[in-house]
Amino acid sequence: MRLDIFTLFPEAFDWFQSQRSVQNALAEGSELRLFNYRDTTPLNAGQVDDSPYGGGAGMVLRVDVVDAALRAAYPSEERPRVVLLSPTGRMLDDALADELTAEPHLALLCGRYEGFDERVHEHLANDEVSIGRYVLAGGELPAMVLADVVMRKLPGALGHAQSAVEESFSQMLEGAPEYPHYTRPVLHRGWGVPDVLLSGDHERVRRWRAEQSRARAAQLDPRAE
């Protein structure tokens, strides 16, 4: 997977890039590149935004600036799927994450201020993704959320190959949340561990986990039962 992130704040991704799952994905051949709109802006003095036509508060990221960044990153080669992070986009869930993980190459556009000039949505982005119906200060955190969920689905990103497959909301668990996990100590302040997990009976453990997962799904959505 090649993941290109366009942002005004590439340094916001320093911590993210140092995470084990990202490091593992990179070691397995994935690529993560950061592009600063300011580096390729055709305007003077690093300008990237402007006041909105018609008046109103805030600044808007300019279409010529975003276009220049994409043209510089992809001068001749075919463009990847361009995903714009927006509070009004398609809601990110496990199925959408699977869909995006299947792409060999993704570009993520992070906005700031009041957002992008509408022509970026219309002509430059192929898709819009939201991480929730609330407005954040910019697309950097949503891009990290998207990059995180996509990268940890790649083979080799997690230490244990099975971990992502059996994760909450995955197909393997029929879209249900994951079952509860316990580890040592077996008793802490009187709080114990379900006997079945100590039984050594793999079939009972498997059935118990499936039941727990279904019960949690029903709690999230009572219609799921």
Residues binding ligand ADE (CB under 6 A): 85-87, 130-132, 134-136, 139, 142
Nearer to ligand ADE, 29 or 132 (CB): 132
* 3-class DSSP assignment, residue 36: strand
Residue 21 Cβ vs ligand ADE, minimum distance, rounded to whole Å: 21
Among residues 68, 60, 6, which one has the least CA distance to residue 32?
6
Nearer to ligand ADE, 136 or 172 (CB): 136
Task: Measure the CA–CA gap between 189 and 2, rounded to whole angstroms.
Answer: 48
Residue 102 Cβ vs ligand ADE, minimum distance, rounded to whole Å: 21
Nearer to ligand ADE, 25 or 85 (CB): 85
On whether the CB atoms of residues 43 and 70 are closer than 8 A, the answer is no
Residue 133 Cβ vs ligand ADE, minimum distance, rounded to whole Å: 7
Nearer to ligand ADE, 73 or 136 (CB): 136
Residue 83 Cβ vs ligand ADE, minimum distance, rounded to whole Å: 10
CA dihedral 124, 128, 131, 133 (to 10 degrees): 110
Q: What angle do CA 20, 145, 215 make, to 5 degrees?
A: 95
* 3-class DSSP assignment, residue 214: helix
Residue 92 Cβ vs ligand ADE, minimum distance, rounded to whole Å: 8
Nearer to ligand ADE, 145 or 172 (CB): 145
